[in-house]
């Protein structure tokens, strides 16, 4: 796959629309189109990197720091009790571009093991509202 064929590269470049919640020169965080729970964010490096072992050393700390900020934003911005943070490398990686899932969690929310039910947003306005709440929480951190 060339980077021209990568949807996450296209989102990072602004060529494909996504509800972005975090942007730095090296990273982009945006709402998952098929969220496990509303507010589910994918964090990606702008540079096309397929797996965690391939992530350049200069991006390791910024990537993890952004993941920490997003996990905090789940609680402060969405009122979640915590978060589920995960990534796949090759196996079960639906888009071959490194991405960290940051999912808001609440006790009793029904997520068990690795079965990930999906919850749709009612409409674009609801999606934008969730993104706005996460962005607002990120601005405080």
- Catalytic residue annotation: 99
Match 């808001």 to its residue by tokens: 104
CA 100/CA 60 separation, integer angstroms:
12
3-state secondary structure at position 75 = helix
3-state secondary structure at position 12 = helix
CA 41/CA 67 separation, integer angstroms:
10
At CA 11, angle to CA 6 and CA 5, rounded to 5? 15
């Amino acid at each position: 796959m060339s980077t021209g064929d990568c949807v996450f590269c296209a989102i990072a470049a602004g060529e494909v629309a996504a509800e972005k919640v975090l942007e730095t020169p090296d990273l982009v965080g945006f709402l998952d189109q098929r969220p496990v729970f509303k507010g589910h964010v994918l964090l990606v490096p702008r540079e096309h990197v397929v797996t965690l072992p391939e992530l350049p050393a200069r991006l390791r700390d910024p990537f993890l720091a952004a993941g920490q900020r997003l996990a905090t934003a789940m609680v402060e911005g969405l009122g979640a009790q915590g978060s589920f943070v995960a990534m796949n490398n090759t196996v079960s990686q639906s888009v071959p571009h490194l991405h960290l899932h940051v999912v808001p969690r609440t006790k009793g929310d029904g997520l068990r093991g690795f079965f990930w039910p999906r919850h749709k947003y009612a409409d674009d306005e609801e999606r934008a509202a969730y993104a706005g709440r996460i962005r607002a929480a990120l601005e405080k951190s």
